[in-house]
Amino acid sequence: MDLTQDAWRSQLLEDTNAVIVDVRTEIEREEGYIPNAMHLDIYDSAAFVNAAKELDDSKNYYIYCRSGGRSAQACMIFNSVGIENTYNLLGGFSEWNGDIEKPF
């Protein structure tokens, strides 16, 4: 499900069963990332699908990339392996105005 920046953030704050997933590349993550985000690079497709299959399908996954395209694709991949509750951040990290962390 696609969510606006505000809807994604407010739903995430109230969700006690939430997992944040950053599907950008490692180089993109150097710009910063949303706190507590798990990193799964969608461009490493075999590893991405294998990791998705290992995730807890009872959790709610809040997924983002740079602009919202790859994260929408990631939601579809998660759905295809049995994870039903996925939320795509429209506009992605490039429009994020919440807290961020830097890797170093």
Q: What is the 3-state secondary structure (H, E, C) of 33-88?
A: ECCCCEECCCCCHHHHHHHHHHCCCCCEEEEECCCCHHHHHHHHHHHHCCCCCEEE
Cα–Cα dist 42/97, whole Å: 23
Task: List the catalytic residue out of 12, 65, 74, 77.
Answer: 65
Q: Does residue 75 carry a catalytic annotation? A: no
- Helix (H) / strand (E) element for 8: namely helix 5-14
Which of the residues are catalytic? 65
